[in-house]
A and B are shown apart, each in its own frame.
Chain A
Amino acid sequence: EPEVTQTPSHQVTQMGQEVILRCVPISNHLYFYWYRQILGQKVEFLVSFYNNEISEKSEIFDDQFSVERPDGSNFTLKIRSTKLEDSAMYFCASRTPQTGGALYFGSGTRLTVV
């Protein structure tokens, strides 16, 4: 069964460093998302991406965040200068119109900022 893959599974970084989280969405999916989940809290929307551009972003997704689809398969989230409060699980998700709006999530990257 096709799945969304994310790498790395765990990343530890020093405050102020840049990190890139990588995702390979399901191959025929057209809509891509990043969500995050701080430990013990809800799954929060960060950004959606369609047709090679951001379609929507949340208040969390400030100038420190960017997304890119550098080729036909990868979808990346970059955090330019990490803060302690960026520590969370980051989930990539994708969908097509045929999924009826349901999102399919990758296994996540646990980001720890020290």
Chain B
Amino acid sequence: QKEVEQNSGPLSVPEGAIASLNCTYSDRVSQSFFWYRQYSGKSPELIMSIYSNGDKEDGRFTAQLNKASQYVSLLIRDSQPSDSATYLCAVNDRESSGDKLTFGTGTRLAVRP
């Protein structure tokens, strides 16, 4: 059973701060990693993808991947109240014939004005 682990939170940060969200995964051969944002009652929305070790930046978001440690993180700089949501880590299943993604339970982020 492939596992993706996240701290459920809530992670509370003040407006303008850096929010750091973490995820570990059990499948050593996973190659593709994704962060989705999910507002309450809404569907997951893709915000970042990362495939190789190191950092990948996109605007205020930075994804970090360390395959040796089986660890992926998301940094949100200059956090805004509109960033308050649940952030889902998703990992591809290389043994999956359908190339499905396995999701973590998500970390709830609350940005205080």
Which residues of A are interface residues toward B (Cβ below 8 A)? Answer: 31, 33, 41-45, 47-50, 55-56, 89, 91, 100-108
Contacts and interface: CB of A to CB of B under 8 A. Distances in A.
A48 B98 contact: yes
6 contacts: A48-B96, A48-B99, A101-B49, A101-B92, A103-B46, A107-B43
B100 A33 contact: yes
A50 B44 CA distance: 22
B60 interface: no
Contact of B97 (A41, A45, A56, A105): A56
A93 B101 CA distance: 11
- The secondary-structure label for the interface of chain A is strand
Interface stretch (B16-24, B72-80, B103-111): B103-111
Interface of B: 31-32, 34, 42-46, 49, 51, 88, 90, 92, 96-106
Given A41-B105, A42-B105, A43-B88, A105 B45 contact: yes
A48 B100 contact: yes
Contacts of B49: 100-102
B98 A101 contact: no
Contacts of B34: 101-103
A36 B32 CA distance: 21
B44 A55 contact: no
Contacts of B44: 43, 91, 105
Given A31-B98, A101-B92, 13 more contacts: A42-B103, A43-B44, A45-B102, A48-B96, A91-B43, A100-B49, A101-B31, A101-B32, A101-B99, A102-B46, A105-B44, A108-B42, A108-B43
